[in-house]
Amino acid sequence: DTAVSQTPKYLVTQMGNDKSIKCEQNLGHDTMYWYKQDSKKFLKIMFSYNNKELIINETVPNRFSPKSPDKAHLNLHINSLELGDSAVYFCASSQDGVVTDTQYFGPGTRLTVL
């Protein structure tokens, strides 16, 4: 049983389109995250949610809108896709969102914008 799952695994789309990535965790965790990994493998946090409430928004363009319908789900919607949005997007979760928590990562969604 996958702990943190993401769909789709691959996403290829044209510039200007709108797309969504879904994330689900079955660990019973309270906190979920979105990270972006660029072509040089650099990982940067985008958002975090704790109990469906937005906690961290790391100066991400407002074309990116996370939504958490419940504690187990955190989706990422991206409007007006740009070439620079091409990356691998990882969802993660942790128990309480405290500094000593382990974060559990999903398998990633590779987004390619043409």
Partner 1 sequence: AQSVTQLGSHVSVSEGALVLLRCNYSSSVPPYLFWYVQYPNQGLQLLLKYTSAATLVKGINGFEAEFKKSETSFHLTKPSAHMSDAAEYFCAVSEGGFGNEKLTFGTGTRLTIIP
**Beta strand 10-13 pairing with 109-113:** parallel
- Binding to partner 1 by CB under 8 A, coded x per residue (else -) over 75-104, reads ---------------x-x-x-xxxxxxxxx
H or E element in which residue 36 lies: strand 31-37
Please report whether residue 48 would count as binding partner 1 according to CB under 8 A. yes
CB 78 within 8 A of CB 22: no
By CB under 8 A, name the one of 39, 41, 70, 83 that touches partner 1. 41
d(CA 8, CA 78): 14
Residues that bind partner 1 (CB under 8 A): 4, 30-31, 33, 40-45, 48, 50-51, 55-56, 58, 90, 92, 94, 96-108
